[in-house]
C-alpha cells in the first residue's frame, strides 16, 4: 500500500467524511453576512475553531479542508489550526486553487487557476501540516455547455495540480463540480457529468497520477435546481452509482461527494441510498461544506460565544452524515 493510499484511507474509512471548511474569504463573507455576523478574521476563526474543537470531530470527521487564511491561524486554545485538527485524529487539508476565472475562448464558462508557483506553495502547506489538498473545476450545464474547451482545460489543470500534489507527498482531491443551476433534466446531468469525469481521468492517467492516492469529489446526479421534474432519492442514488461505475477507474479508493446546494437532509438521504446500493469497491462518503455547517452557522450567529450549543448541532449533522456513509441513516434519527 502506498503512503498516499494510506492517507486517503485514513481520511475516508469507517464512515468518516470530510468537513469542507475552505470557503474563500469572499464566500465566507457572504455566508456570515447572510446571518448578520461581520466577516472579520477573528469571527471566521471563531466559527471554524468552534467546529474543529467539537467532540464529533473524533468520531465522524476524517479530514478538514482549510482555506489559506485558516491554516495560518492560531486557535484561541494556543495551538495552530492544523494541530487542533490533528489532535482529533483528522487529517488537515488545504484548498490550493486560486479560484475560477472567465475562460478565454468561451466567456460564459470558467477555468480554475492556481498552477503558477504551486510547487512552492505546496511545500509550505506540507510544513504547516497539510497532507491532502483540493482543487475545484466548475462546469455549468446548458444546450452548449460544458464545452469541449472547458472540459479539456479544466481536466488538464486538475491533472497537473494532482501531479504536483503527489510529488509533494499529499493526496489530491479532484473536484469537477457540474453545477445544479438551471432547468436541465437529471438525464442531462448524468450525460454531462459522465463526460466531465471521463475526461478528468484521461488527463490524470496521461499525467501519471497514482490513482490509489486520489480522492474524487463529484456532484451527485440531480435534476437542475429550476427543473420542473425532480427525481426521487432512489433514482439519484442509482444514476449517481451508474455514472461513477462507468467513468471512475477502480484503483481510486474513494469518492467524497460535495453537497452543492442540496439541503442538509437531502444530501444525507441521497448519500445513504448511494451506500445502500453501493455495489462497487469505492468508499462513498461526504465532503460537505454547506450540508455540514448551515444549521450550526445559523445557531452560532445568534450567540457567537455559545460554543457547546453550536457544537451540539454540528455533532448531530456529522453523525447523520457518517451513518449515511455506511447506509445506516434513517429519517427518524434526525429528530432523536
Ligand atoms: P458544498 O458541500 O457546500 O457544495 O461545498 C463543498 C465544496 O467544497 C465545494 O467546493
Q: Higher model confidence: residue 336 or residue 211?
A: 211
Comparing CA positions, the residue from 125, 91, 112 lying closest to residue 161 is 112
How do residues 114-168 score in pLDDT, each as one tens digit? 999 999 999 999 999 999 999 999 999 999 999 999 999 999 999 999 999 999 9
Q: Is the CB of 256 under 6 A from ligand 1?
A: no
pLDDT confidence band for 93 (50 / 70 / 90): very high
pLDDT confidence band for 1 (50 / 70 / 90): confident
Comparing CA positions, the residue from 283, 139, 142 lying closest to residue 198 is 139
And the C-alpha cell for 92? 488537515
- Between CA 324 and CA 14 the distance in angstroms is 11
How do residues 246-258 score in pLDDT, each as one tens digit? 999 999 999 999 9
Question: What separation in Å is there between the alpha carbon of 288 and the centre of ligand 1?
Answer: 5
The helix/strand/coil state of 107 is strand
Residue nearest to atom 8 of ligand 1 (CA): 20
**Residue 175 appears among annotated catalytic residues:** yes
Q: H-type helices in the chain, by residue range?
A: 3-12, 25-33, 41-52, 56-60, 68-71, 81-87, 118-128, 148-167, 186-206, 233-247, 264-276, 290-302, 307-324, 331-335
Q: Which atom of ligand 1 is nearest to the CA of 257?
A: 2
Question: Stretch 274-280: mean pLDDT, rounded?
Answer: 98
- Between CA 313 and CA 292 the distance in angstroms is 9
Question: What separation in Å is there between the alpha carbon of 303 and the centre of ligand 1?
Answer: 25
Instruction: Tell me which of 28, 258, 286, 291 to substitute to probe ligand 1's pocket, judged by most ligand atoms within 8 Å of the beta carbon.
Output: 258
Q: Which atom of ligand 1 is nearest to the CA of 288?
A: 2
**Residue 238 appears among annotated catalytic residues:** no
- From residue 152, give the alpha-carbon distance in Å to each of 23, 63, 177, 236: 26, 29, 14, 26
The helix/strand/coil state of 267 is helix
173 phi/psi in degrees, rounded to 5: -85, 125
> Rounded to 5 degrees, what angle do the CA atoms 117, 119, 125 make?
105
Q: Is the CB of 290 under 6 A from ligand 1?
A: yes
Which of 175, 203, 264, 269 is the catalytic position? 175
Q: Is the CB of 139 under 6 A from ligand 1?
A: no
Residue nearest to atom 4 of ligand 1 (CA): 260
Residue nearest to atom 1 of ligand 1 (CA): 289
Residue 107: exposure state from Cβ atoms within 10 A (0-12, 13-18, ≥19): exposed
Q: Is the CB of 20 under 6 A from ligand 1?
A: yes
- Predicted confidence at residue 66, as pLDDT, reads 98
- Predicted confidence at residue 76, as pLDDT, reads 83
Amino acid at each position: 500500500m502506498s503512503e498516499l493510499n494510506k492517507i486517503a484511507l485514513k481520511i475516508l474509512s469507517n464512515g468518516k467524511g470530510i468537513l469542507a471548511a475552505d470557503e474563500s474569504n469572499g464566500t465566507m463573507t457572504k455566508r456570515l453576512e447572510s446571518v448578520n455576523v461581520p466577516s472579520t478574521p477573528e469571527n471566521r476563526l471563531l466559527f471554524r475553531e468552534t467546529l474543529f474543537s467539537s467532540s464529533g470531530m473524533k468520531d465522524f470527521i476524517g479530514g478538514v479542508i482549510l482555506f489559506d487564511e485558516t491554516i495560518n491561524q492560531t486557535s484561541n486554545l494556543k495551538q495552530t489550526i492544523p494541530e487542533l485538527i490533528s489532535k482529533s485524529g483528522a487529517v488537515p487539508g488545504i484548498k490550493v486553487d486560486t479560484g475560477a476565472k472567465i475562460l478565454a475562448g468561451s466567456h460564459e464558462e470558467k477555468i480554475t487557476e492556481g498552477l503558477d508557483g504551486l510547487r512552492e506553495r505546496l511545500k509550505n502547506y506540507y510544513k504547516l501540516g497539510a497532507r491532502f489538498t483540493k482543487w475545484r473545476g466548475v462546469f455549468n450545464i446548458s444546450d452548449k455547455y460544458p464545452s469541449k474547451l472547458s472540459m479539456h482545460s479544466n481536466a488538464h489543470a486538475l491533472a497537473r495540480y494532482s501531479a504536483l500534489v503527489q510529488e509533494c507527498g499529499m493526496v489530491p482531491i479532484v473536484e469537477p463540480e457540474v453545477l445544479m443551476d438551471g432547468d436541465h433534466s437529471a438525464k442531462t446531468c448524468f450525460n454531462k457529468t459522465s463526460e466531465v469525469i471521463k475526461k478528468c481521468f484521461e488527463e490524470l492517467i496521461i499525467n501519471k497520477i497514482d490513482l490509489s492516492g486520489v480522492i474524487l469529489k463529484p456532484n451527485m446526479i440531480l435534476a437542475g435546481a429550476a427543473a420542473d421534474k425532480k427525481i426521487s432519492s432512489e433514482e439519484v442514488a442509482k444514476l449517481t452509482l451508474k455514472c461513477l461505475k462507468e467513468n471512475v477507474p477502480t484503483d481510486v479508493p474513494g469518492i467524497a461527494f460535495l453537497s452543492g446546494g442540496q439541503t442538509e437532509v437531502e444530501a444525507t438521504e441521497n448519500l445513504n441510498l448511494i451506500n445502500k446500493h453501493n455495489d462497487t469497491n469505492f468508499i462513498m462518503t461526504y465532503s460537505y461544506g454547506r450540508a455540514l455547517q448551515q444549521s450550526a452557522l445559523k445557531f452560532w450567529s445568534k450567540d457567537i460565544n455559545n460554543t457547546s450549543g453550536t457544537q451540539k448541532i454540528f455533532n448531530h449533522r456529522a453523525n447523520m452524515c457518517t451513518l449515511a456513509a455506511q447506509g445506516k441513516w434513517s429519517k427518524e434519527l434526525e429528530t432523536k
